[in-house]
Structure 1
Amino acid sequence: MTENFSPKKLSHTLSLSSWDLPVTTLFLGFLFGMFLQYARLNRFDTIAGMALLRNFSVAKTMAFAIGLGMLLMQAEIQMGWASDHIKPLILFGIVGGGVLFGMGMAILGYCPGTLAISLGQGSLDALVGIFGGLVGALLFAVVFPLFSPLLGPDLGSMSLRGSLSPTTFWVTLVLLGGGLMGVAFALHRVDPRGWSWLYAAVGLTLLNVVLDLPAIAGHPMGASTAFPWLAMTLTGVGAPSYWHKIAEPGAWEFRFLVGAFLAGLFFSLIQKEFRFKAVPDLWQEYHGGSVTRRFFWAFVGGVLLLFGARMAGGCTSGHIISGGMQLAYSSLLFALVVFLTFLTTGRLFYRQGRVG
């Protein structure tokens, strides 16, 4: 495409500080990875297990984190300590991207953020998923000038806070936040496999609240923008208009994921759980032990996951968790579409292919 740029020009589009590895961002990413790996939320068997309704750890963690986060983040914003970062409701991008993301997450068995953690633990299929994600993100970066007009209509950055009177909003907020935390505990009665999910949920909530402080980062956590940033940095391919859109957040999220990778590596080593593994146990149960088959679908899942994330403008951490805490309409719609597609794909892709 005529809009492609040379890698030599990249250094002129970012400030020098965007290319270093500041300790703060690495440490925050390390905490992100620590919370997720502690509850085993980054594992293929946990995420794919949710798609099969066999493991509710992910659902419990997300419901509690969003419910508690709603209360804490909105209080933080009310006191003037932080600001909203509402993603715009670009209708087809949110819905179409959510469908692709949900399909990719069910097939791949990882999210953009959990890929880095699992790679640190030696999961080779996560590495293949990362390659697929880079391809999907780069493809979106290339077609962005032609594709972006098709993602609308853009209904603007809307949230529940801006749609209700202050009193009605706070009453609704307490009911929603408490209700989601109640859902988490109800799911725990169905799937009572320890309380590590609760500790992880509280940790992720506090991390997101701290990240939103201007002195720390000034925005909630995210992961998927690191993929087009890295792909475009390595290849020099893509639309300059898209590079300028994602350069700064992508550089920050890349550093954040480096910290998450280090957490996965560190804790797997000290717990003596690090090992190279190509085919997860749950995958073998439904699709057999073929490494070629697993790698093929991991790559496909990665492409779908990241192309969908870029269409929607975010992923599990940046859209569903962070956006849900801000009660953004775009994020709530994305979460609904992802959840429905994720469960439907899980049923079709795994249950009908069970070995034996």
Structure 2
Amino acid sequence: MMLVILVLGFIFGAILQYAKLNRYDVISGLAILEDFSVAKAIAVAVGFGALLINIEISLGLAAYHVKPFLVGGVILGGLIFGAGMALLGYCPGTLAVSMGEGSLDAWVGMVGGLFGGWFFTVTLPGIKWILGPNLGKIALHTIATSSVVFILLMVVFAAILVGLSFWLHKKEQKSDLKWLYAGVGLAIINALVFLSFVANRPIGASTTYPYLADVVLGLKNNAYFEKIRQPGQWELIFLGGAFLAGLIISLIKKEFKLVLQHALWKRFKGDAPQMRIIWSFLGGFILIYGARMAGGCTSGHILSGGMQIAVSSLVFGAFALLGLLLTGRWFYAKKEHSV
């Protein structure tokens, strides 16, 4: 089973790397509305994936894994997560791929994420009141009045997202369609993971960080660690596969390179390495803390949850995007530097 998870993670990482969806310049480019590759790929993945997953479930090959709608956690966590994503330029899953490619800022962000995971574990008892109320596992399939209504709304949902992706693509006036193939690939890999005889769970990434931090620091005697023990182990192996994809493919393509400051960072923030280190650490810390407040991240909430048309995941996605854009508007608003 461990080998299967590793291979699935490798495929996941290879898909992200193929379309460069893991790159700092691409993700930060979305924060300043200059690059819509990530948004387009996610829209296609969620739209197409919603059809695939619900077909599997209707055939009895998979089950729903909807995250509960913790109102405070999803909204505040989404905003915090989006802010961390803008500062760091990576998601919890893309961090692993970029680490494999040699991005030193991703390694710093990973360390910040581990501290964020540890800090969430120790502060959770004191912030539980902020995370609620818990409205339960609400999704389209739980509120649709009939199977006909459900199918109709699901098809409309998928069509809107796919249409949105092509509208954004037309707005960008780019010919590259790697984002489209990557979006389809992400939908398929999610559908594979959902299958009962494969993993019987959604894809995820952010649970890795508190799990690993708690193991290293010996914080195992608490209710939160018991809750994340199994998913944390799974996601750690999965991200290990994504890391190997980044490393092996970049070495084969002779693109492996140790880099701390990427082009977009230099353009807005200059060449001072210490500033990139500081903001990478803080971004990673904030990113993971927000993800754990919400109970998921780009992989577990926006992709896997979105494909299930789960209310908690759709709300998280909206507030994460808001946090990303607001922080991007502030953080990258200074005078540009010559590169």
1:310 match: 292
What residue identity is the alignment partner of 2:263?
D
Structure 1 unaligned segments of length 5 or more: list them.
Answer: 1-20
1:18 match: none
1:322 match: 304
Paired residue for 1:92, among 72, 75, 81? 72
Cα distance in 2 for partners of 1:256, 1:186 equals 33
Cα distance in 2 for partners of 1:226, 1:24 equals 18
Alignment of 1:257-276 (within 5 A): 257-276=239-258
Q: Does 1:335 align with 2:317?
A: yes
**Aligned partner of residue 352 in structure 1, secondary structure:** coil
1:222 match: 204
Identity of aligned residues (%): 49
Aligned residues between the structures: 336
Whether the 8 Å CA contact 1:145–1:239 is kept in 2: the answer is: no
Question: For residues 323 and 278 of structure 1, do their structure 2 counterparts lie closer, same or farther at Cα, with a shift above 3 Å needed?
Answer: same
1:36 match: 16
Paired residue for 1:65, among 26, 41, 45? 45
What residue identity is the alignment partner of 2:12?
F
Whether the 8 Å CA contact 2:220–2:226 is kept in 1: the answer is: no
Q: Deviations over 1:173-208 (max 9, x none)?
A: 111101111111111112214111111111110000
1:102 match: 82
Cα distance in 1 for partners of 2:48, 2:335 equals 38
Cα distance in 2 for partners of 1:195, 1:221 equals 24
- TM-score (normalizing by structure 1): 0.92
**Aligned partner of residue 89 in structure 1, secondary structure:** coil
Whether the 8 Å CA contact 1:145–1:241 is kept in 2: the answer is: no
Alignment of 1:1-356 (within 5 A): 22-164=2-144, 165-191=146-172, 192-237=174-219, 240-355=222-337
What residue identity is the alignment partner of 1:28?
L
Deviation at 1:354, TM superposition (A): 2.8
Cα distance in 2 for partners of 1:80, 1:229 equals 32
Deviation at 1:340, TM superposition (A): 1.2
Q: Deviations over 1:72-105 (max 9, x none)?
A: 1111112211110010001100011001100000
Deviation at 1:353, TM superposition (A): 4.7
Q: Deviations over 1:282-327 (max 9, x none)?
A: 1000000111000100001001000000000000010001000001
Whether the 8 Å CA contact 2:87–2:331 is kept in 1: the answer is: yes
Q: Deviations over 1:203-260 (max 9, x none)?
A: 1100000100111100111000011110011111366100111000000000000000
- CA RMSD in angstroms, aligned pairs only: 1.1
**Aligned partner of residue 340 in structure 1, secondary structure:** helix
Question: For residues 45 and 140 of structure 1, do their structure 2 counterparts lie closer, same or farther at Cα, with a shift above 3 Å needed?
Answer: same
Cα distance in 1 for partners of 2:200, 2:268 equals 43
Deviation at 1:110, TM superposition (A): 0.1
- TM-score (normalizing by structure 2): 0.97
Whether the 8 Å CA contact 1:159–1:327 is kept in 2: the answer is: yes
Whether the 8 Å CA contact 2:219–2:225 is kept in 1: the answer is: no
Cα distance in 1 for partners of 2:123, 2:322 equals 27
**Aligned partner of residue 34 in structure 2, secondary structure:** coil
Cα distance in 1 for partners of 2:108, 2:175 equals 30
What residue identity is the alignment partner of 1:41?
L
Whether the 8 Å CA contact 2:77–2:289 is kept in 1: the answer is: yes
